[in-house]
């Protein structure tokens, strides 16, 4: 017995629809030692993919009218940092750039310390640090140039543990250490801060 035919109008709208494109996704896993005590992350919607236009500059910080993602914490700057997309010449891949927007707090991207208005291109996987905050950032490439996605997770444990972040751990001559925090040199700490 043959399968029931697909109704003509359904087939037509299916055939006429734009070809679906995969979206570049930025997965951000947040950690703060006091995440249980306060509502600092209550404005962040976890485990949800948010679709955003690729021309959008996404600010992270305390100020609700200028930031898209808000940390409810007085130790966070009104705008802490911004993320935005760009495209390298001769490339169809979207890349992310991060810029430190805080005049008070430095932003550390792996082992690079960014002062106010310093910026870097994000590697496909990295750890951001500002104040007591840590954020593991992982990028999945997609086809669309028009939109991208973000997704947040919350980590109950420090992200700088050796087992969670082994790839960029330097191997000290006197044996492994438990966290990157104590072993990574911070670039430009004498000049910038």
Residues that bind a copy of itself (CB under 8 A): 54-55, 57, 79, 82, 84-90, 94, 99, 101, 103, 115-119, 145-146, 187-188, 191-192
Longest dimension (CA), the chain: 78
How near is the Cβ of 149 to a copy of itself at its closest, in Å? 16
Per the CB < 8 A criterion, the answer to whether 154 and 50 are in contact is: no
Smallest distance from a copy of itself to CB 95, Å: 9
Length in residues, the chain: 193
Nearer to a copy of itself, 6 or 93 (CB): 93
- The answer to whether 71 touches 60, Cβ cutoff 8 Å, is yes
Closer CB to a copy of itself, 28 or 94, in the complex: 94
Nearest residue to 72 via CA among 102, 21, 37: 37
Q: How far apart are CA 46 and CA 186, in angstroms?
A: 30
Nearer to a copy of itself, 143 or 162 (CB): 143
Distances (CA, A) of 3 to 13, 14, 98: 20, 18, 53
Count of helices and strands (H, E) across the chain: 2, 12
- The SS3 call for residue 18 is coil
Task: In whole angstroms, give the CA distance from residue 69 to residue 79.
Answer: 10
Minimal distance in Å, beta carbon 153 to a copy of itself?
27
**Comparison of 140 and 144: residue with beta carbon closer to a copy of itself:** 144
To the nearest whole angstrom, how small is the minimum distance from the Cβ of residue 69 to a copy of itself?
Answer: 16
For the CB of residue 143, give the shortest distance to a copy of itself in the complex, in Å. 14
Question: Which residue number, 14 or 89, has a Cβ lying nearer to a copy of itself?
Answer: 89
Closest to a copy of itself by CB, 67 vs 137, is 67
Smallest gap from residue 100 Cβ to a copy of itself (A): 9
Among 49, 61, 69, residue whose Cα is nearest residue 147? 49
């Amino acid at each position: 017995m043959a399968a029931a035919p697909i109704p003509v109008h359904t087939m037509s709208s299916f055939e006429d629809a734009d070809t679906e494109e995969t979206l570049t996704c930025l997965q951000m896993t947040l950690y703060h030692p006091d995440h249980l005590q306060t509502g600092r992350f209550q404005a962040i919607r976890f485990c949800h993919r948010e679709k955003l236009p690729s021309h959008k500059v996404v600010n992270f910080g305390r100020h609700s009218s200028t930031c898209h993602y808000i940390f409810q914490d007085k130790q966070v700057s009104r705008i802490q940092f911004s993320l935005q997309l760009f495209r390298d010449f001769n490339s169809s891949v979207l890349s992310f750039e991060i810029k430190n927007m805080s005049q008070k707090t430095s932003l550390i991207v792996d082992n690079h310390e960014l002062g106010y208005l310093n910026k870097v291109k994000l590697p496909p996987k990295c750890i951001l640090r500002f104040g007591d905050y840590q954020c593991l950032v992982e990028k999945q490439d997609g086809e669309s140039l028009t939109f991208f996605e973000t997704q947040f997770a919350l980590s109950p444990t420090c992200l700088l543990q050796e087992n969670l972040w082994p790839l960029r751990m330097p191997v000290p001559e006197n044996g492994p250490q438990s966290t990157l925090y104590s072993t990574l040199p911070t670039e430009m700490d004498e000049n910038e801060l």
